[in-house]
Amino acid sequence: MYLVFGAVMAYSALVMLRRMHASEEAPVPEDALADRLALHGSYWDESTGREVSYRVTRPLAGLGLMYVAGTVSGMLGIGSGALKVPAMDLTMRLPLKVSTATSNFMIGVTAAASAGVYFARGHIDPFIAGPVCVGVTLGAWLGSRHLMARVNASWLRALFVGVLLWVAFEMLRKGWSS
């Protein structure tokens, strides 16, 4: 499983790397379901000083990939952001800043939903989880409020590709050593 996951992460990183210089404003195919659900939007990009409008495509493929991301994340004990962000970026054609913010929100909701179950089972040590939660919350706030707004999307993509390659390497290493 680790080898398959590592290969998928490496492939996602390479595809995202190929899109590094592609315009975020490349035409996105129309999608009737995305139109009906009003999934399109816009955001103010402080790094470019302009509003970025985007269209969503293939929401059902995105739904399927989010299911797979959650399942694999639960099986391997890793964060699903490494799967969700490329899925939204490459499949649904969301801008990378929107993909990362959406992934962060989804991970927070799913973590909050499952935390009670794990806590009730005695699988969470509150003396460890408490400081970790504080640190993660402060880091997420700082990153989303102060850094993400000022970071160029190309630099963010390069950073994310690096993280994906690192995750791929670690998963492949785990798979080969077991």
- What are the b/e assignments for 154-170, b being 16+ CB within 10 Å? eebbeebbeebbebbee
Least confident of 41-50, 74-83, 85-94, 110-119: 74-83
What digits encode the pLDDT tens for the residues 15-73?
Answer: 888 777 665 567 788 999 999 999 999 998 888 888 989 999 999 999 999 898 888 77
Percent of the chain with pLDDT over 70: 94
Report pLDDT for 57: 95
Q: Are 96 and 85 in contact (CB under 8 A)?
A: yes
Taken in order 156, 98, 84, 40, is the CA torsion positive or negative? negative
Report pLDDT for 172: 93
